[in-house]
């Protein structure tokens, strides 16, 4: 050890924590500081060691985005202290992840490593049961941003990108109607389009249509950000529900509550059943509670959990008191084996 800080840029994958590289998991467990974005499944942060500092640099209701300069400054400041910093980014850090800006900001002062992640396009397609390329249909796939600068669709030639292959659009929900109207100008109205919201989360929504129907379907099914738009014949490979949507707990959201410490690996395994799972444990430990306070609060605010699993009703009482909430008793399920 030379006392020099180090920065690991790691992909957090699209949502399902089972889709994170083993190497990224190992680094999350040993990091001194984790600097993370909005699109990172917060359950991953709970794998960190108790004294690891968590810094959120994503979107806030008040400030739109933390400016990139500010993020760079924080990374450098922590590395300068000789700490091991994990910069955790949604999906793959090298795909629309502003990786090079952050790497450049290190100015060769600190060593860095990069761990690739599963990008949203891959997960959205495969968790909806179609591939991104297919020998029978599509010889190429393009990843493009659908985010338009200065409300102009002209700067990206979407027609050229969609021709004869698959087009996967990131950040395209706002401009979807515009993009579809440009494509419709001289492409077949029956060209398939899939929009996949929250890919690889238990509340994933996949809507399948074509150029003529997709806008209405997206509004009708209320598919919102984050979502991938995938255009091309590969979408035809999907037949009915996907393997993922058929998992026994798909669509179910479960909160696991304990005053004691719960083995996080067990929760990660639960994700294989297709639901969304979150833990609030160590309810008497002030250090832990302070560390996760804002994360827990946000999760409790956005997710209406279907089931609350606990090892004791005392834990539920502590949860209610600490977060000033009331749990519907009908949703509580006691499971004394949680800490085995």
Cα–Cα distance between 168 and 334 in angstroms, integer?
43
Cβ distance to ligand SAH smaller for residue 191 or 227: 227
Residues 228-267 that bind ligand SAH (CB under 6 A): 228
- Which of 5, 17, 97, 165 contacts ligand SAH by CB under 6 A? 97
- Which of 72, 119, 206, 310 contacts ligand SAH by CB under 6 A? 119
Is residue 59 annotated as part of the catalytic site, yes or no?
Answer: yes
Cβ distance to ligand SAH smaller for residue 224 or 294: 224
Q: Is residue 96 near ligand SAH by the rule CB under 6 A? A: yes
Beta strands in the chain (DSSP E): 6-11, 33-36, 53-56, 84-89, 112-115, 141-145, 166-170, 192-197, 205-210, 227-231, 253-257, 276-280, 307-310, 332-334
Q: Is residue 15 near ligand SAH by the rule CB under 6 A? A: yes
Is residue 2 annotated as part of the catalytic site, yes or no?
Answer: no
Q: 130 has which bridge partners?
A: none
Is residue 1 annotated as part of the catalytic site, yes or no?
Answer: no
- Which of 199, 231, 257, 308 contacts ligand SAH by CB under 6 A? 199
Cβ distance to ligand SAH smaller for residue 170 or 244: 170
Cα–Cα distance between 225 and 187 in angstroms, integer?
26
Helix (H, G, I), strand (E, B) or coil at 104: helix
Which residue, chain included where needed, has tokens 């209405």?
216
Cα–Cα distance between 265 and 270 in angstroms, integer?
9
Which residue, chain included where needed, has tokens 């979807």?
176
- Which of 39, 44, 234, 299 contacts ligand SAH by CB under 6 A? 39
Question: Candidates 79-87, 89-97, 235-243, 256-264 — which segment interacts with ligand SAH by CB under 6 A?
Answer: 89-97
Report which of 208, 211, 221 is spatially closest to residue 180, judged by C-alpha positions.
Answer: 211
Catalytic residue among 171, 233, 264, 331: 171
Q: Is residue 40 near ligand SAH by the rule CB under 6 A? A: no
Cβ distance to ligand SAH smaller for residue 46 or 204: 204
Cα–Cα distance between 251 and 276 in angstroms, integer?
7
Catalytic residue among 37, 129, 281, 311: 37
Question: Candidates 95-103, 205-213, 275-283, 321-329 — which segment interacts with ligand SAH by CB under 6 A?
Answer: 95-103
Q: Do the Cβ atoms of 177 and 195 come closer than 8 Å?
A: no
Question: Candidates 60-68, 192-200, 244-252, 277-285 — which segment interacts with ligand SAH by CB under 6 A?
Answer: 192-200
- Residues serving a catalytic function are 37, 59, 171
């Amino acid at each position: 050890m030379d006392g020099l800080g180090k920065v690991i840029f790691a992909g957090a994958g699209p949502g399902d924590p089972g889709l994170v590289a083993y190497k990224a998991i190992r680094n999350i467990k040993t990091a001194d500081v984790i600097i993370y974005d909005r699109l990172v499944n917060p359950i991953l942060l709970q794998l960190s060691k108790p004294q690891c500092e968590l810094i959120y640099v994503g979107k806030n209701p008040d400030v739109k985005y933390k400016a990139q300069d500010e993020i760079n400054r924080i990374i450098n400041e922590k590395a300068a202290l000789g700490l091991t910093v994990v910069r955790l980014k949604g999906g793959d850090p090298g795909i629309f992840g502003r990786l090079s800006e952050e790497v450049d900001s290190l100015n060769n002062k600190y060593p860095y490593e990069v761990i690739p992640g599963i990008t949203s396009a891959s997960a959205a397609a495969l968790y909806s049961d179609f591939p991104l390329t297919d020998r029978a249909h599509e010889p190429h796939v393009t990843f493009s941003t659908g985010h338009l600068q200065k409300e102009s669709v002209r700067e990206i030639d979407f027609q050229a990108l969609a021709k004869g292959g698959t087009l996967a659009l990131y950040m395209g929900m706002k401009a979807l109607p515009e993009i579809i109207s440009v494509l419709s100008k001289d492409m077949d109205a029956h060209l398939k389009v899939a929009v996949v919201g929250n890919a690889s989360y238990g509340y994933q929504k996949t809507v399948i249509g074509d150029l003529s129907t997709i806008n209405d379907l997206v509004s009708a099914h209320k598919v919102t950000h984050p979502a991938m738009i995938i255009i091309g014949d590969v979408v035809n490979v999907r037949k009915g529900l996907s393997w993922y949507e058929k998992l026994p707990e798909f669509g179910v959201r479960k909160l696991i509550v304990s005053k004691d410490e719960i083995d996080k690996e067990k929760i990660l395994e639960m994700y294989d059943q297709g639901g969304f799972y979150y833990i609030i444990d160590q309810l008497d430990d002030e250090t832990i509670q302070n560390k996760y306070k804002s994360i827990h609060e946000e999760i409790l605010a956005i997710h209406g959990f279907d089931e609350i699993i606990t090892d004791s009703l005392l834990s539920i009482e502590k949860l209610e008191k600490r977060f000033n909430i009331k749990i519907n008793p009908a949703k509580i399920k006691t499971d004394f084996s949680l800490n085995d």
